[in-house]
Amino acid sequence: MKAYYVLLPLLSSLSLPLAAQVIQPWSGYAVHDGQRPHPTKVEAKSITTTPAPADADIIFDGTNIDAFTKKWAVKDGSLIATKTGKNSTKKSYGSCQLHLEWKIPAGREISGQKGGNSGVFLMGKYEVQIQESHTNVTYADGQAAALYGQYPPLVNASRPQGEWQSYDITFTAPEYKDGSVIKPATITVIHNGIVVHNAQELKGPTTNKKLAAYPTDHPEKAPLTLQFHGDPIEFRNIWIRELGNYNKKN
Ligand code: MG
* pTM for this prediction: 0.91
The backbone torsions φ and ψ at residue 157, rounded to the nearest 5 degrees and listed phi first, read -100, 20
- pLDDT above 80: residue 42: yes
Where residue 227 falls among pLDDT bands split at 50, 70, 90? very high
Q: How far is the CA of 5 from the centre of ligand 1 (A)?
A: 35
pLDDT digits (tens, 9 = 90+) for 124-156: 999 999 999 999 999 999 999 999 999 999 999
Q: How far is the CA of 198 from the centre of ligand 1 (A)?
A: 20
Determine contact, residues 144/133, Cβ cutoff 8 Å.
yes
Q: How far is the CA of 60 from the centre of ligand 1 (A)?
A: 20
Q: How far is the CA of 118 from the centre of ligand 1 (A)?
A: 4
Determine contact, residues 29/150, Cβ cutoff 8 Å.
no
Q: How far is the CA of 246 from the centre of ligand 1 (A)?
A: 34
For all residues of the chain together, what is the average pLDDT? 92
Domains and CATH numbers, the chain: 37-242 (2.60.120.560)
Q: How far is the CA of 7 from the centre of ligand 1 (A)?
A: 33
pLDDT digits (tens, 9 = 90+) for 197-225: 999 999 999 998 889 999 999 999 999 99
Determine contact, residues 216/180, Cβ cutoff 8 Å.
yes
- The pocket of ion ligand 1, defined by CB under 5 A, consists of 117, 119, 129, 227
State the burial class of residue 93 (Cβ atoms within 10 Å of its Cβ: 0-12, 13-18, 19+). buried
Reading phi first (left if > 0) and then psi (alpha if -120 to 50, else beta), residue 199 is in: left
- pLDDT above 90: residue 20: no
- pLDDT above 80: residue 74: yes
Measured over the CA atoms of residue 99, residue 55, residue 187 and residue 71, the dihedral's sign is positive
Measured over the CA atoms of residue 110, residue 111, residue 115 and residue 117, the dihedral's sign is positive
